[in-house]
């Protein structure tokens, strides 16, 4: 079984500040790692994913996440946030042999002017 812990339930930051949303996972088998974003009243959208290869993955809107196997972490970062980044962010894992996603409890990122 897997579990995902998102260490911060809420992260308030000012516009143009850097941000890190933390995610740690636990699994006895190999996993794939995902970050999803949920804007108000919308469904979850895939932000980025780690399957294999380079441990640093990037999204098209400036977010990046680094897979750290020794620390079982997959923290999400952005060097300079915009107000439009305000949303809830979910970290998720998936067994490489399975299809279900296991989610963390989410981090609400609020970007203030």
Residues that bind other proteins (CB under 8 A): 4, 6, 32, 36, 41-46, 49, 51, 90, 92, 94, 96-106
Token representation of residue 71: 């620390």
CB closer to other proteins, 6 vs 73: 6
Q: Percentage helix, strand, coil, to 5, in the chain? A: 5, 55, 45
Shortest reach from residue 38's CB to other proteins, in Å: 8
CB closer to other proteins, 18 vs 98: 98
SS3 83: helix
Residue among 35, 32, 40 nearest 23 (CA): 35
68 in Cβ contact with 55 (< 8 Å): yes
CB closer to other proteins, 80 vs 96: 96
Shortest reach from residue 73's CB to other proteins, in Å: 17
């Amino acid at each position: 079984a897997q579990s995902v812990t998102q260490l911060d339930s809420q992260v308030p930051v000012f516009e143009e500040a850097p941000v890190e949303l933390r995610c740690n996972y636990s699994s006895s088998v190999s996993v794939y790692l995902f970050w999803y974003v949920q804007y108000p009243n919308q469904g979850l959208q895939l932000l980025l994913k780690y399957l294999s290869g380079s441990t640093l993955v990037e999204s098209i809107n400036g977010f990046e996440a680094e897979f750290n196997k020794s620390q079982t972490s997959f923290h999400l970062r952005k060097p300079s946030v915009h107000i439009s980044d305000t949303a809830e962010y979910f970290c998720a894992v998936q067994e490489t042999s399975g299809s279900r996603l296991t989610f963390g409890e989410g981090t609400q990122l609020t970007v203030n002017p």
